[in-house]
């Protein structure tokens, strides 16, 4: 959407009778440069200024690899749990009416609003050996706190609103006429679900999955309490970055930071593509 | 809408009713374990040793200084991000210019970046071995492990909230009324305050309360830049961590209950704004 240049003359902005472009453009540029561009440049240059052997050594050390495995593994499991339960939640909230529906609907956003340190210590207390839920899981032989399961539970909580809030509007858009038509033509409920509802909602579910996953990979506050942070076992990558920083190993921290940043960029890219795919599909159905 | 729901096929059949109860039960159990139990735990643990022990936590000078620091940070960060959000939205929604997509990507970035990296980048810029570290030390300015670092890191994490709310809203509302105002002789500021601001007010409020909740509750980014100096660079969420690590469980949850209250108030305001017909992004 670059502005049309008049007769080949380069212009920054398309003419408009509205004032204030210079002021707001300048301010936005200044703010974004100072707060985002320069710090990111510092991260990349710090990582690039270390010798490549050191870089590889840091990024592919056994401890770092173990932390990626936990961070990405637990995030994938958590996002998958949300894929199922987030869909059920969205379905319940869109399709059914029951007492307390509005309160539940508002509560979905709680993990957004609740400081992560609070959800971290609260989850740890609930799922500790003597906690409200932890003691029953303990009887069943499942240890949650200070294991990868605890990490997964914290990440599930953090990702849940992303899935529900993405799937909800998509489910609300499923036209009842389509379902009725299918039903009249003799389709069973399951068939209607599989062939009509699921295809409409699937792109939203994938977007929700990507959003929940991306958020979970970087999560710090709610995980560190329930994880126990044992190297090689329950240490997520963000914790490893903090440890490197506390050792004043700026280059190591920057190298790991770059790995995570690259993955965040890939995530953003994937989410943008999923969203334009969704828009394309809805445009095709005339909505 | 509910009338329409009732007419959906499969609603009245026995199987449909069964499905309905199964799904509602699963939803409620899932939320009870993951959301409600931790929420009740916060208050139950905070009050476990009685109301006196609970209130005593808030007489502790370290807690009071944490409250003060959190309020100071929010008082600086939220207005700054509001001004940025309005400026960025005006620039992006009202004009067609080169580099617009780049702007939008940069604004989205903090949402995708780990809070730890948000803290890390500022340590690399202002820390002792960072870009400006030597210069800052020569001039006796401390940014990392001090209030300015906390403010900058919080600003980084929270600046998208207002902008991301306003940009799509202003794009959707269009420029017609502003153009009419300008054509009729109104100045730029007058147009902004009398035409644009009233149009977008609910979106603005929505963005500000989310920005405020995150600014007061941010943990990861602030934890990296603060240095955890008790009574000095400890915000409320960091204070929760310190008390918890010292096994002062009642203290940790008492402070946590304050933050939980903030989250609940945020949700209530958010729901009220949504009742006004504004749908957040």
**Mutate: best of A48, A119, A145, A179, partner B, most B CBs <10 A:** A119
Q: Give me the number of domains chain A comprises.
A: 1
pLDDT at B1: 47
Q: Is A229 inside any structural domain?
A: yes
Report the pLDDT averaged over residues A54-62: 89
User: Is the Cβ pair B259, A115 closer than 8 Å?
Assistant: yes
pLDDT at B86: 96
Q: Is A138 inside any structural domain?
A: yes
Tens of pLDDT, residues A225-240: 999 888 999 999 999 9
Tens of pLDDT, residues B123-157: 999 988 888 888 888 888 888 889 999 999 999 99
Q: Is A19 inside any structural domain?
A: no
User: Is 90 exceeded by the pLDDT of residue B201?
Assistant: yes
Report the mean per-residue pLDDT for chain A. 88
- ipTM of model: 0.89
Q: Is A276 inside any structural domain?
A: yes
User: Is 90 exceeded by the pLDDT of residue A186?
Assistant: no
Q: Is A1 inside any structural domain?
A: no
User: Considering chain A, what percentage of its residues have pLDDT values greater than 90?
Assistant: 54
Other CB atoms within 10 A of residue A184 CB: 9
Q: Is A84 on the interface with B (CB under 8 A)?
A: no
User: Is the Cβ pair B100, A1 closer than 8 Å?
Assistant: yes
Q: Give the nearest partner residue to B27 out of A88, A241, A260, using CB atoms.
A: A88
Q: Using 50, 70 and 90 to split pLDDT, how confident is the model at B5? A: low
Q: pTM, whole model, 2 decimals?
A: 0.90
Least confident of A3-7, A179-183, B161-165: A3-7
Q: Domain range for residue A163?
A: 55-284
Q: Is B28 on the interface with A (CB under 8 A)?
A: yes
Tens of pLDDT, residues B66-115: 999 999 999 999 999 999 999 999 999 999 998 888 898 889 888 888 99
User: Is the Cβ pair B114, A238 closer than 8 Å?
Assistant: yes
pLDDT at A2: 47
Chain A neighbours among B 167-196 (CB < 8 Å)?
A: 175, 178-179, 182-183, 187-188, 191-192
For residues B261 and A200, what is the distance between their CA atoms, to the nearest angstrom? 38
pLDDT at A36: 93
**Mutate: best of A6, A9, A12, A18, partner B, most B CBs <10 A:** A18
CATH code of the domain covering residue A93: 1.10.3720.10
pLDDT at B131: 86
Q: Is A79 inside any structural domain?
A: yes
Q: Is A183 inside any structural domain?
A: yes
Residue A44: which H helix or E strand, with range?
helix A38-49
Q: Is A118 inside any structural domain?
A: yes
């Amino acid at each position: 959407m670059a502005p049309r240049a008049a007769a080949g003359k380069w212009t920054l902005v398309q003419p408009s009778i509205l004032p204030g472009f210079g002021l707001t453009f300048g301010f936005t540029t200044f703010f974004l440069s100072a707060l985002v561009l320069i710090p990111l440049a510092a991260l990349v240059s710090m990582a690039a200024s270390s010798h490549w052997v050191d870089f590889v050594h840091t990024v592919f050390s056994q401890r770092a690899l173990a932390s990626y495995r936990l961070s990405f593994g637990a995030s994938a499991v958590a996002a998958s749990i949300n894929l199922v339960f987030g869909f059920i939640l969205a379905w319940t909230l869109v399709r059914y009416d029951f007492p307390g529906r509005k309160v539940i609907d508002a509560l979905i956003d709680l993990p957004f609003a609740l400081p992560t340190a609070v959800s971290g210590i609260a989850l740890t207390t609930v799922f500790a050996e003597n906690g409200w839920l932890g003691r029953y899981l303990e009887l069943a032989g499942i240890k949650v706190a200070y294991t990868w399961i605890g990490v997964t539970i914290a990440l599930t909580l953090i990702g849940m609103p992303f899935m529900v809030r993405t799937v909800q509007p998509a489910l609300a858009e499923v036209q009842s006429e389509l379902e009725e038509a299918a039903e009249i033509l003799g389709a069973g409920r399951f068939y209607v679900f599989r062939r009509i509802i699921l295809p409409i909602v699937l792109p939203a579910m994938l977007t929700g999955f990507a959003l929940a996953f991306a958020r979970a990979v970087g999560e710090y506050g709610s995980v560190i309490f329930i994880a126990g942070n044992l190297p090689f076992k329950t240490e997520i990558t963000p914790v490893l970055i903090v440890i490197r920083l506390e050792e004043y190993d700026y280059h190591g921290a920057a190298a790991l930071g770059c790995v995570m940043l690259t993955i965040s960029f890939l995530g953003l890219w994937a989410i943008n593509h999923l969203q334009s795919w969704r828009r394309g599909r809805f445009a095709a159905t005339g909505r | 809408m509910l009338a329409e729901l009732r007419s959906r096929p499969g609603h009245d059949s026995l199987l449909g009713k069964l499905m309905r109860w199964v799904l509602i039960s699963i939803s409620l159990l899932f939320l009870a374990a993951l959301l409600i139990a931790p929420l009740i735990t916060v208050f139950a643990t905070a009050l476990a040793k009685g109301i006196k022990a609970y209130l005593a936590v808030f007489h502790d000078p370290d807690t009071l200084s944490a409250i003060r620091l959190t309020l100071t940070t929010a008082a600086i960060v939220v207005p700054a991000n509001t001004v940025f959000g309005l400026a960025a939205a005006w620039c992006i929604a009202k004009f067609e210019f080169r580099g617009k997509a780049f702007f939008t990507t940069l604004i989205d970035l903090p949402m995708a970046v780990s809070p730890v990296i948000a803290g890390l980048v500022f340590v690399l810029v202002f820390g002792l071995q960072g870009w400006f570290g030597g210069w800052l030390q020569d001039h006796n300015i401390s940014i990392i492990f001090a209030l300015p670092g906390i403010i900058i890191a919080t600003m980084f994490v929270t600046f998208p909230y207002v902008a991301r709310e306003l940009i799509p809203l202003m794009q959707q509302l269009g420029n017609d009324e502003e153009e009419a105002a300008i054509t009729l002789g109104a100045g730029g500021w007058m147009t902004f305050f009398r035409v644009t601001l009233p149009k977008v007010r609910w979106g603005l409020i929505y963005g500000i309360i989310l920005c405020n909740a995150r600014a007061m509750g941010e943990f990861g980014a602030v934890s990296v830049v603060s240095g955890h100096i008790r009574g000095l660079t400890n915000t409320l969420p960091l204070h929760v961590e310190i008390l918890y690590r010292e096994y002062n469980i009642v203290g940790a949850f008492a402070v946590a209950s304050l933050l939980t209250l903030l989250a609940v108030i945020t949700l209530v305001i958010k729901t009220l704004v949504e009742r006004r017909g504004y749908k957040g992004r």
